[in-house]
Structure 1
């Protein structure tokens, strides 16, 4: 241990290497429940690429595990420390290096906060679409590591679709550059996409070239109340089948609505079984909302309320953003699932979750990116009650199994980390899992990068 610390400090500023256990413990885990976390030997907070390279060279030579971290807002345990590791926190590498309106790109360091980047490019008339619920805290590096999404995915897609190129420090300290700055490019294997969603298991992202879009018009939203999950999901299918492209299409079940009302006194309709939020940022959003309102009514909506202006729209969307914090208050602890299913199976997913909640005697609220079938069942339980915690874990596994049975995937945007390792093996199958492990060995032959995560 002394050798590790001496060698780290030899090429790093004193303040960049933290060993006080009262401080390092705060870097031990992300926001996931039911995931073990070890005690790091040190936390390193580099500010330059060269400092990251020094950390990785040292760790490689001494065979010390390294756990890369962003803001630790993740929900799968991917950023959790292992005993004796170096936690490599990239939050100090937080510069926006370039915003190029002509080529519509931004070049950033990994510690840039998502919302900071979004506001900076907006000042130049541009738009960075990925907007996870934690966008005010989460970093671009973390977004890349987990392949995160957000409320706008139904129209604009997820993080992977906006990463054009990366600078990555490999396990042995070498600097790899992938991708491009151009609008098109197919030279060689797509290593950039390989790193997106790899959860720090293949290399440490130290710079990213991101695609931007022109800023869209301000969106207008509507809220539609439904008497059942089935009627709400029928409306979702109808909206997508008719070719509409909403900028947002979100669903909240009755449990979630009540939780948001308890938290923020927003006056949402607690008697409804499902609330669908739709928004458009088109040149004539009112016309698009009117068409969607007709489809919602035809599917069985009991009420459709369009916002009259951007302020009312934002109020509706704020209700959706408060879903997870509101559900956390129900019992004090939550386990957040992240199962995506085909849109046509969305109703079966929600009905199945309701059955699982009743069978285990738990409160499980569901909020969903309905437009792309990505559901977030949130299991609420009392962690001080061992029986409740056991039921919560069992319900989580039942929800994962249900998602796979419906032709879905175990994670749409939160990643695998520690929480879903066993389920990843079931989804991938033995041939794919073997290839994953082979790729990991190519990039990290000594297994020091985020060991024990993903698979």
Structure 2
């Protein structure tokens, strides 16, 4: 049967407009935000509106041996939703339903709903959904689940997996399984929820999730501290983490500060070597006490200037500058997004190592960080039109991952492995864990049709 005939069957089986086959429309779904060059040419995009439509599309793909790539909002930074040649992309961006159960303090959410939409819906009931990637206004819950996303508040409140109570998942044969529910504690059977969170669409397609909510965050205080360099700032972070549980600890280097100010002024000091943005949302007098401890840690680490505020608008200005760093750096050239992390005490070693790689390779590497978790984002800026610049940038990309592994850390703290980082995964996990990962993949997706090429490197000969 020809590809056209096979597609005719799929189109006929789904409502009008759900299956997109026009080249111009397909192009919109080929790459994620990483734009890493790994995207292939899919034969169709299925813009599913229901879980049942996802099941139909997956069953069709299984019957015809067609690869399937799940996709959320396309804001991923590791090539995890890049399309594959001859496959279909199942976009979940039309599945946007959100239901808040204030009594159980949960949100029942479809995968296309944006992180910000869930936050707003929860806030109407005096509740809060903490995971907050920098792209929270445009990233989808499905993508957050796929990569186990974190964000600025995760230093105190945890990452996506900490808020997942239940989910519906479509498996590789089209079966829909329901895991967990609204209950907070549940140890019945294997911990399959944890298996699917962070699996990047390689084991199943999440079509609904139940998310734990908590009471709205208290208003707090923000401390902004300037340092002569990132090493001093990272030492302050280590000291703070050893003494108080801050609700935010974010770092920006001089390059990212100036990129943000060039793009859209946020009132940041262009001359500072590094900027630490810290927050406490502790209750009552404990908030002021935590800020005093953070101030003392910054002073001991060599801070040049320290500013504190309880004004929400002032705080938001600094935080917005940090959130906008990725977009601002894109204005300086093509970028490769890193996402490496190390144990917090080794953060200064990671910072120094990245600086050495930048100097050695002759490329610009800006660094922003969820520093309180030891999770950094070295962003490699290069000239995509210059082959030598591209080669040096990719060499630096590989060296940064090797540096993190050498420090006992990880190649990805929250962006996922995708296709951009899969070559380095064996170096971190080792042969035995890679073999175990393949056993799980083979058990759940024996034909290898779900997001092939993501996370795990293709086997030789495939």
Give the TM-score, by structure 2 length.
0.96
Q: Quick one: distance in 2 between partners of 1:229 and 1:451?
A: 39
- Indicate the SS of the match to 1:44: strand
CA positional deviation for 1:7: 1.9
2:76 to 74, 77, 95: 74
Identify the residue that residue 315 of structure 2 maps to in structure 1.
313
Identify the residue that residue 283 of structure 1 maps to in structure 2.
283
Identify the residue that residue 198 of structure 2 maps to in structure 1.
197
Alignment of 1:52-451 (within 5 A): 52-96=54-98, 98-242=99-243, 244-284=244-284, 285-331=287-333, 333-451=334-452
Identify the residue that residue 27 of structure 2 maps to in structure 1.
25
Q: Quick one: distance in 1 between partners of 2:204 and 2:132?
A: 24
- Indicate the SS of the match to 1:155: helix
- Indicate the SS of the match to 1:368: strand
Deviations 1:93-124 (A, max 9, x none): 1111x211121111011100110110110110
Identify the residue that residue 460 of structure 2 maps to in structure 1.
none
Q: Quick one: distance in 1 between partners of 2:127 and 2:276?
A: 28
Indicate conservation of the 8 Å contact 1:219/1:313, yes or no: no
Indicate conservation of the 8 Å contact 1:35/1:419, yes or no: no
CA positional deviation for 1:58: 0.7
Unpaired runs of 5+ residues, structure 2, are 457-462
CA positional deviation for 1:219: 3.2
Indicate conservation of the 8 Å contact 2:405/2:427, yes or no: no
CA positional deviation for 1:59: 0.7
Q: Quick one: distance in 1 between partners of 2:270 and 2:353?
A: 21
CA positional deviation for 1:270: 2.5
CA positional deviation for 1:141: 0.5
- Indicate the SS of the match to 1:330: coil
The count of residues paired between Structure 1 and Structure 2 equals: 452
Indicate conservation of the 8 Å contact 1:216/1:282, yes or no: no
Deviations 1:338-362 (A, max 9, x none): 0011111111111111111111111
Indicate conservation of the 8 Å contact 1:169/1:203, yes or no: yes
Indicate conservation of the 8 Å contact 1:65/1:86, yes or no: yes
Deviations 1:159-216 (A, max 9, x none): 0111111100111111111123101010000101100000000011001010111101
- Indicate the SS of the match to 1:15: coil
Give the TM-score, by structure 1 length.
0.97
Q: Given the superposition, is the C-alpha separation of residues 91 and 33 from structure 1 closer, same or farther in structure 2, using an over 3 Å criterion? A: closer
Indicate conservation of the 8 Å contact 2:26/2:44, yes or no: yes
Indicate conservation of the 8 Å contact 1:221/1:316, yes or no: no
Q: Quick one: distance in 1 between partners of 2:57 and 2:97?
A: 20
